Amino acid sequence: MSRYSLSEFVEKTEQEDRGQGLFELETDRLLEVNLQQQIWAKAGSMIAYEGQIKFVREGILEHGIGKMFKRAFSGESTALMKATGRGKLYLADQGKKISIIRFHNDTLCVSANDLLAFEPSLKWDVKLMRKVAGIVSGGLFNIRLEGEGMAAITTHYEPLTLKVTPDKPVLTDPHATVAWSGHLQPEFVADVSFKTFVGRGSGDSVQMKFSGEGFVVVQPYEEGGYVQQN
């Protein structure tokens, strides 16, 4: 086989079954879902599929009145689609790196923009960071996942997990914060003196402060979509 031939390209990039279960990484930036029944996925994340799969955008009343009102405020960043059927489904989100997490009665809060897919066996809810609404335009949204099942989250480049301990709180840039352990309650700290030195604009004088026992996941990228721009 000649180097750089078409057949070599096809062989190197051809889909490969790894037998890893419902979720498996076809590449670091492409999630393969071996669908048997149903999953939830970020709206617009489907790039290809084979088999008998039906896609339905999440109904505004599908999860009750409470989530309906949260949807009205959170907008497209938390929009989900339901994939139902049998076949292979391929998901991606702007070439971001994908990490698969298996929950065993765990709880995790994920930035609404960084949740790619999850099993319906996981309980979930949309959370609004109300205290930041007066500081950062539009407010800040995350999705709380808990229970048993699998989920896939995305990051720009490699994620970094920082341990939070009672004697060592962690402060992060909201635009670079991806996820945190579910029992942590971040508070928002405004420090105008940081404005000149950190990040890109006036909003960067706000940090998320995590105190207690747990962890927080950040990415080496400030994601503007993390904060709603309505």
Along the 230 residues of the chain, how does pLDDT read in single tens digits? 578 888 888 888 888 887 778 999 999 999 999 999 999 999 999 999 999 999 998 755 455 444 544 444 445 456 889 999 999 999 999 999 999 999 999 999 999 889 999 999 999 998 877 555 444 544 578 899 999 999 999 999 999 999 999 999 999 998 899 999 999 989 888 875 655 555 554 445 789 999 999 999 999 998 864 333 33
* Of 214, 176, 31, 55, the residue nearest 118 (C-alpha): 31
| CA gap 12, 9 in Å, rounded | 5
Residues found in the chain? 230
| CA gap 207, 78 in Å, rounded | 22
Domain ranges of the chain: 19-226
Domain 19-226 falls under CATH 1.10.10.10:
no
pLDDT at 70: 47
pLDDT at 205: 75
CA 209 to chain centre: 20
∠ Cα 164 178 151 (to 5°): 105
pLDDT at 230: 30
The Cα diameter of the chain in Å comes to 62
pLDDT at 22: 95
| CA gap 82, 117 in Å, rounded | 10
| CA gap 62, 46 in Å, rounded | 21
